[in-house]
């Protein structure tokens, strides 16, 4: 096995995650500029943020079949082109409507990437390495978030005036172009090749990447058995009883992911810190601290996910969520709009614990877990459903955060998020299966799917 080819292919595919993270967080620094240029109220600014999220919903739900038809690699290349056009277009937008259109296109790329990148990496990875390799996507997501926060901070320090927000969006064009060109050297997914009956090509790819069985022929036989195309079609109905359990698992982990408030906090991090009494540049710097914490704890989770297990990470993360969100809620109830320096530090520390809990738990697990629980013949559609659910909830939570927090304050909002995480903890304890170290074809059997 050429570990170098496997690692390089996984890293390149995971660059889609870096662009996803950057695109998700970059708008947080552009809030004041966008409000000034387009005279946006809380409601319409929330809609402006959600425009990309609406794109992610469309991208995630529509990319499954194209990736089954054209292949994971070619689909990722199209997403790279979308990222590039979105970055340049958002920077050069001539009015609010054009800005929305380019952000919407970027959202399509994000939604597509969250489906195809984890699917591709899961399908090229041996079981013993799959958790860490798929989790590289999450590492790149949080690295992209950190880059966005840091880029926004640097651009703010440069004091570029009215065009500052345009530079924040435009710099994303560089990694988008790199993503596109690096993908040319990646092989196609061997499981996709087998599904397309391109057995010789699949054999060659498995020879380069390595197998669970130690022999390419045995691996191909296992993949063919899991596809079982004599009795099942790649076009067979997805929403049916035999897939009910993986569907429920994917939907629930995605719903809980967003009911923690993670995307609202990432989109509005500087705004939240301003609510807690921080000044403009200080709010940007505190956002960088949040991004750095996210990166460090994602690295920790990535290092142990294949030993510690998906379920244990979720348990630790859920408890951290509950504690940190409860403390943040109490701080906002206590100080309301009259934050002291001490109150501001409490909010910062609570959000640092929150982001560490997310990075160590849900953040590291979600895309790995969803990519594992579906059979080969419907994996792309299953990943699309999980991603769609994630982004639908992200749009709903992010759009409503600013108006509700503006009307009621941060206390009630963070309290609701904390209650939702209690429910997640119960789900993890009683319903979530462990998938670490189990070949994809065996997970299918353990979930009772023939």
pLDDT band for position 213 (cuts 50, 70, 90): low
Mean pLDDT score, 307-319: 95
d(CA 74, CA 31): 34
d(CA 419, CA 222): 43
Q: What is the pLDDT of residues 46-102, one digit of tens each?
A: 888 888 888 988 998 888 888 989 999 999 999 999 999 999 999 999 999 999 999
Mean pLDDT score, 94-120: 93
Cα–Cα distances in Å, from 393 out to 55, 138, 366? 13, 18, 14
**CA torsion 97→103→109→110, rounded to 10°?**
-140
Q: What are phi and psi for residue 214, nearest 5 degrees?
A: 85, -5
Using the 8-state DSSP alphabet, how is residue 336 labeled? T
Using the 8-state DSSP alphabet, how is residue 159 labeled? T
Domain spanning 3-186+239-446, CATH architecture: Up-down Bundle (1.20)
The residue behind tokens 């109905």 is: 237
As a whole number of Å, the end-to-end CA separation of the chain is 30
Q: Are 183 and 76 in contact (CB under 8 A)?
A: yes
Please give the share of the chain, as a percent, with pLDDT higher than 90. Answer: 44
The pLDDT value given to residue 228: 64
Residue 339 has pLDDT above 60, yes or no: yes
Q: Are 425 and 319 in contact (CB under 8 A)?
A: yes
H helical segments located in 183-309:
190-195, 199-209, 216-227, 244-259, 262-267, 269-275, 280-308
Q: Which of 105-119, 264-278, 327-341 has the lowest mean pLDDT?
A: 264-278
The pLDDT value given to residue 283: 72
Tokens representing residue 159 in the block: 């004091």
Q: What is the pLDDT of residues 365-394, one digit of tens each?
A: 998 899 889 887 788 789 889 989 998 998
The pLDDT value given to residue 432: 95
Residues contacting residue 70 through CB under 8 Å, at least 6 positions apart: none
d(CA 155, CA 197): 51
Residue 253 has pLDDT above 90, yes or no: yes
Q: Residue 325: exposed, middle, or buried by beta-carbon count in 10 A (0-12, 13-18, 19+)? A: buried
Residue 135 has pLDDT above 50, yes or no: yes
The pLDDT value given to residue 237: 81
Supply the angle between the helices 31-38 and 42-62 in degrees, to the nearest 10. 110
Q: What is the pLDDT of residues 433-445, one digit of tens each?
A: 999 888 877 888 8
**CA torsion 433→435→440→441, rounded to 10°?**
-50
pLDDT band for position 30 (cuts 50, 70, 90): confident
Residue 140 has pLDDT above 60, yes or no: yes
pLDDT band for position 334 (cuts 50, 70, 90): very high
Residue 284 has pLDDT above 80, yes or no: no
The pLDDT value given to residue 414: 95
Mean pLDDT score, 186-203: 90
Residue 298 has pLDDT above 50, yes or no: yes
Using the 8-state DSSP alphabet, how is residue 188 labeled? P
Domain spans of the chain?
3-186+239-446
């Amino acid at each position: 096995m050429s570990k170098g080819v496997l690692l390089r292919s996984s890293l390149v595919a995971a660059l889609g995650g870096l662009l996803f993270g950057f695109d998700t967080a970059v708008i947080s620094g552009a809030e004041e500029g966008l409000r000034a240029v387009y005279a946006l109220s809380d409601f319409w600014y929330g809609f402006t943020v959600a425009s990309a999220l609406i794109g992610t919903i469309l991208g995630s739900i529509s990319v499954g079949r194209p990736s089954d038809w054209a292949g994971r690699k070619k689909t990722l290349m199209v997403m790279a082109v979308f990222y590039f056009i979105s970055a340049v277009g958002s920077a050069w937008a001539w009015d609010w409507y054009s800005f929305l259109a380019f952000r919407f296109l970027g959202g399509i790329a994000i939604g597509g990437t969250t489906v195809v990148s984890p699917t591709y990496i899961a399908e090229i990875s041996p079981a013993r390495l799959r958790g860490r390799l798929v989790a590289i996507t999450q590492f790149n997501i949080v690295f992209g978030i950190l880059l966005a926060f840091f880029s926004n901070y640097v651009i703010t320090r440069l004091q570029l005036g009215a065009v500052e927000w345009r530079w924040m969006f435009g710099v994303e064009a560089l990694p988008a172009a790199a993503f596109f060109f690096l993908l040319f050297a990646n092989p196609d997914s061997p499981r996709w090749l087998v599904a397309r009956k391109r057995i010789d090509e699949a054999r060659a790819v498995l020879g380069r990447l390595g197998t669970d069985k130690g022999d390419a022929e045995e691996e191909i036989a296992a993949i063919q058995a899991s596809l079982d195309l004599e009795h099942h079609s790649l076009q067979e109905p997805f929403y049916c009883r035999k897939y009910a359990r993986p569907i429920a698992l994917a939907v629930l982990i995605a719903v809980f992911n967003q009911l923690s408030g993670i995307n609202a906090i990432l989109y509005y991090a500087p705004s939240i810190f301003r609510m807690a009494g921080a000044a403009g540049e200080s709010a940007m710097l505190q956002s960088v601290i949040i991004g750095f914490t996210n990166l460090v704890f994602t690295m920790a989770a990535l290092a142990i996910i294949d030993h510690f297990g998906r379920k244990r990470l979720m348990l630790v993360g859920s408890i951290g969520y509950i504690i940190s969100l409860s403390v943040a809620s109490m701080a906002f109830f206590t100080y309301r709009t009259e934050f002291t320096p001490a109150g501001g530090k409490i909010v910062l520390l609570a959000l640092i614990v929150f982001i560490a809990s997310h990075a160590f738990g849900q953040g590291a697990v979600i895309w790995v877990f969803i990519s594992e629980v579906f059979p080969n013949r419907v994996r792309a559609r299953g990943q699309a459903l999980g991603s769609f659910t994630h982004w639908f909830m992200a749009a709903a939570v992010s759009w409503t955060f600013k108006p509700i927090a503006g009307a009621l304050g941060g206390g009630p909002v963070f309290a609701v998020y904390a209650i939702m995480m209690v429910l997640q903890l119960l789900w993890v304890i009683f319903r979530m299966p462990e998938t670490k170290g189990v070949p994809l074809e065996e997970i299918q059997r353990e979930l009772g799917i023939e």
